[in-house]
Amino acid sequence: MKRVQQPKEEIPEVYQEIMTSKPIKPELFEQVKQQNENIIPPKNLYSYNLKKIKSFKQIRRKYKMSNQEQVFNKDLSIILNEYMPVNHQLDKDLLQHVLTIAENFFIYGNKTERDELKERAVKSLMLKYFRGDEELLNVMIGSVWRDVKKTTLLKRLFKRFTNKFFLN
């Protein structure tokens, strides 16, 4: 009887480099780590709903919130790369638009979680436009905050509804 050989699954390039390279490069491990950070644990296991476990529900929620922040940072950093920090130092208008986008983007979680995520994301993106001075950025955010268009509960619920039924 002949053995049938199973087709090998294609190994991602990052793993291939790790397996074939003699000296271990720390950058490759960072790439693998970043790929694995975005995996959200499944909500069902062997037809059992794991969301019934309180701690699991919180763990899953943390993953979703961190993914939301990563997606926002990645997408907006691509756009902000077009704006040179040298030409747009202390640009209130740019800061106001980034804050408005953040206000519209972060729709999941309670108010404190949303505010914390918005603050971290905006600071990480806009710090280079404010000479790397976090205090100056905080003052500018305080002065521009009244001009930012805020979301309401109804708008957030509608956005969640459309995300659930029309984006999946």
Q: How many domains does the chain have?
A: 1
The secondary element (H helix, E strand) that includes residue 104 is: helix 92-105
Q: How many CB atoms lie within 10 A of CB 95?
A: 24
Provide the phi-psi class of 70: left if phi over 0, else alpha when psi is between -120 and 50, else beta.
alpha
Does the residue 140 lie in any domain? yes
Cα(74)–Cα(17) distance, integer angstroms = 25
User: What domain range is 119 assigned to?
Assistant: 64-168
Does the residue 15 lie in any domain? no
Does the residue 152 lie in any domain? yes
Does the residue 76 lie in any domain? yes
Does the residue 32 lie in any domain? no
Full-model pTM: 0.67
In tens digits, the chain (168 residues) has pLDDT values of 555 555 555 556 655 555 555 554 555 445 544 554 567 666 666 777 777 777 777 777 888 888 888 888 998 988 888 888 888 888 899 999 999 999 999 888 888 988 999 999 999 999 989 888 899 999 999 999 998 888 888 988 898 888 878 875
Buried b (16+ CB within 10 A) or exposed e, 24-43: eeeebeebeeeeeeeeeeee
Does the residue 26 lie in any domain? no
Does the residue 58 lie in any domain? no
